[in-house]
């Protein structure tokens, strides 16, 4: 009785098994490569999604800090300007640039930084290194920077429904991004501002500060700007902050 070998295709001999194993290894390697490729693509997609979310949140935060244009930003009248000056430095026009600690460097009676001056339109800029200091140490030029800054960033910080000098005072002290904070209300700056600004009489009501050198105030023509101080001076009424004595009177309605 003769013996017959099984067909080669069914053989478990040494010739067929190595080839079959190599094919399996190649298939496994291909599957691994595809898996790694899809895994990398998934990770890349997740990273792109996270970046998009981050940018969206960042833009939303920045936009929330910028002034809304649903309200027109009014120009600062001189009455408000003078009170910002009083609150900042007692309107000391002899005050020059100085370091206030760290990187804080402020100049002039309005106590303004380089960044504030830059955003305010860079008045007095002639391309020289110290033009900003020259401008800010000059009250008239510094006021141009304040007006420019408020035009750009003025907004309703205190949620009163209107943009007014109280908002400008907050922005001047805290910057436009933080002006909604009520922390400013507990500062000497705010106390001086309120005494100066609210201390003025309402329209057409005379405010008499006595005969000790303070001049009667007249707000004619329904303006919020002082018109006549008795000596043809169209400037803010003087305030003496010496020794912490704030010589002014708040008018209560």
pLDDT in tens, 128-165: 999 999 999 999 999 999 999 999 999 999 999 999 99
What is the predicted pLDDT for the residue at 154?
97
pTM: 0.56
CA distance 165 to 75: 10
pLDDT in tens, 25-34: 777 777 777 6
Q: What's the full length of the chain, in residues?
A: 253
Q: Which residues contact 148 (CB under 8 A, 6 or more apart)?
A: 119, 120, 121, 123
- Tokens encoding 161: 């429904």
What b/e readout covers 43-67, taking b as 16+ CB neighbours within 10 angstroms?
Answer: eeeeeeeeeeeeeeeeeeeeeeeeb
CA distance 70 to 211: 46
Residue range 78-207 forms a domain whose CATH class is mainly alpha
What are the boundaries of each domain within the chain? 29-64, 78-207
Instruction: Band the pLDDT of 70: cuts 50, 70, 90.
Output: low
- Average pLDDT of the chain to the nearest whole number: 74
Instruction: Give the residue from 77, 50, 43, 59 showing the smallest Cα distance to 165.
Output: 77
Distance, C-alpha 106 to centroid of its chain: 17
pLDDT in tens, 148-158: 999 999 999 99
Q: Contacts from 213-216 at CB under 8 Å and sequence distance 24+?
A: 213/238, 214/238, 214/247
pLDDT in tens, 167-226: 999 999 999 999 999 999 999 999 999 999 988 644 434 444 444 444 344 444 444 444
What is the predicted pLDDT for the residue at 100?
82
What b/e readout covers 167-192, taking b as 16+ CB neighbours within 10 angstroms?
Answer: bbbbbbbbbbeebbeeebeeeebbeb
What is the predicted pLDDT for the residue at 63?
53
Q: Which residues contact 192 (CB under 8 A, 6 or more apart)?
A: 86, 87, 90, 241, 246
């Amino acid at each position: 009785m003769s013996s017959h070998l099984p067909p080669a295709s069914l053989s478990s001999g040494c010739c067929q098994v190595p080839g079959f194993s190599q094919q399996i290894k190649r298939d496994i390697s291909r599957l691994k490569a595809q898996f790694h490729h899809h895994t990398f693509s998934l990770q890349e997609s997740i990273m792109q999604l996270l970046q998009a979310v981050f940018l969206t949140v960042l833009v939303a935060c920045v936009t929330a800090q910028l002034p809304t244009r649903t309200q027109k930003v009014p120009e600062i009248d001189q009455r408000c300007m003078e009170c910002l000056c009083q609150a900042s430095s007692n309107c000391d026009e002899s005050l020059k640039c100085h370091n206030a600690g760290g990187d804080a460097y402020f100049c002039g009676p309005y106590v303004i930084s380089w960044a504030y001056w830059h955003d305010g339109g860079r008045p007095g800029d002639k391309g020289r290194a110290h033009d900003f200091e020259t401008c800010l140490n000059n009250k008239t030029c510094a006021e141009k920077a304040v007006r420019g800054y408020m035009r750009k960033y003025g907004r309703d910080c205190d949620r009163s429904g209107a943009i007014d000098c109280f908002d400008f005072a907050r922005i001047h002290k805290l910057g436009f991004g933080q002006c909604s904070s009520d922390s400013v209300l507990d500062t000497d700056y705010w106390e001086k501002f309120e005494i100066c600004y609210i201390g003025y009489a309402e329209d057409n009501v005379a405010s008499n500060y006595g005969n000790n050198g303070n001049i009667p105030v007249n707000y004619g023509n329904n303006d919020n700007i002082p018109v006549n101080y008795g000596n043809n001076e169209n400037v803010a009424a003087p305030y003496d902050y010496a020794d912490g004595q704030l010589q002014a009177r708040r008018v209560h309605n």
